Amino acid sequence: METVNIDRLMQDIEELSQIGRHASGRISRPSFSPEDREARFWLSQKITEAGLALHIDEAGNIFGRLSGQGPAVISGSHLDTIPNGGKFDGALGVLTALECCRVIKEKQLQIQSPLEVVAFSDEEDHYLGFLGSYAFTGKLDMKAARLACNPEGLTLAEAMAQCGLDIEKVAEARRHPEEIKAFIELHIEQGPILDTAKMSIGVVHTAMGNYRYGIKMTGLANHAGFPMQGRQDSCLGAVHLIETIRNYQDQLKPETHLTVGIFKVLPGLENVIPGETYFSVDFREEGLGVLQNLESYVAKSVKEIASQYGLRAQIDPLLKVDPLPFYPEILETIQHVSDELGIKWQPIASGAGHDAQIVGQVAPTAMIFVPSAGGRSHCPEEYTRPEDIEKGANVLLHTLLRLAQ
């Protein structure tokens, strides 16, 4: 069976990792930043050198295409990174798809359907999470896009203009579902399951749903010498609320994830009772009903605890992505290809969000995971062994070949 050129693929990974890299090894390529623009130019050159037809759509998504008839089989991920990230998240999916297309063209392997590699814009939410895949599927909220800005205050419209893109034309990036035969994304597992099991391939059956909220508790700032009785302490109310939510989450199955990633108190002084406390809540779960129950429980608990502590409370939904089961026929193809290549695999759910979770709402979609050492991701220590990259790329290659027949 034909295989990818692992040396060339690893060289691509190393070259791309130099863009936005700090001396410490940290990589920062926020979407539409100078570093991201450099990475986009680099990828565009690689696509052209490979003999693929280059296309950049109105959302800044980059495509390389091998011609064929009918709807396209598409594979890829994203080039942008979080601040101080690693070199595999997102980039590995783009570069393995590119390598597969190169092998197919160089060895003149037969395909009937068009085959495309894609790098989606702003997956990592520097301006608007999943911007590229939302635009690609026609699900982009234009009101949110026009209001979006980065932490430095630069608007998405301004950032896109610096890349020669017009935010008012971004809806033209939509691809109709009938134009997409299948989408498949290879990605590192952002967790330890495959690495612990010494398994090279994860066949991702479900992308967990992700519900996020910002909760603000407002009380009364006062001197720390104020008696305990009668305080309106927003911090104590917030901590009680987090504990209450956690106790409820503990009653659910272990696969239900809860994270409080932001916790801020104002005025933030040692001798002042906090008048305002803000924190985020992030739920991830395979079952839609569980997420909906959690949502109701949080709303109920916020009201009860705010009343108990004499506080005002506000809940702002930040993200609401429902769980997505991936396409059974594609999953079966990945399993059969892995078996034929003699590569061990196991079924797995994704706790992280991916472009595939967006594309899968309109087209047959699946994901392949490869292990990340220690389950580390979104950090400079992110690492996947070349042997696992090669196995994942070869599974992707033969899966694409079958889907494109």
Tokens of 402: 């079958």
pLDDT tens across the length of the chain (405 residues):
899 999 999 999 999 999 999 988 899 999 999 999 999 999 999 999 999 999 999 999 999 999 999 999 999 999 999 999 999 999 999 999 999 999 999 999 999 999 999 999 999 999 999 999 999 999 999 999 999 999 999 999 999 999 999 999 999 999 999 999 999 999 999 999 999 999 999 999 999 999 999 999 999 999 999 999 999 999 999 999 999 999 998 887 767 999 999 999 999 999 999 999 999 999 999 999 999 999 999 999 999 999 999 999 999 999 888 999 999 999 999 999 999 999 999 999 998 889 999 999 999 999 999 999 999 999 999 999 999 999 999 999 999 999 999
β-pairing, 324-325 vs 209-218, is: unpaired
The SS3 call for residue 250 is: helix
- The sign of the dihedral angle between the CA atoms of 336, 341, 347, 353 is negative
pLDDT per position as a tens digit, 78-111: 999 999 999 999 999 999 999 999 999 999 999 9
Domains and CATH numbers, the chain: 6-208+324-403 (3.40.630.10), 209-321 (3.30.70.360)
CA angle 265, 269, 274 (to 5 degrees): 40
Tokens describing residue 306? 């705010």
- Size of the chain, expressed as the number of residues it contains: 405
Q: pLDDT digit string (tens) for 23-81? A: 888 999 999 999 999 999 999 999 999 999 999 999 999 999 999 999 999 999 999 99
Q: State the maximum Cα–Cα separation within the chain, in Å, rounded to a whole number.
A: 80
Nearest CA to 139 out of 147, 127, 128, 148 is that of 128
- The DSSP letter of residue 230 is T
Q: Two tokens at 338?
A: 């892995």
| pLDDT for res 319 | 86
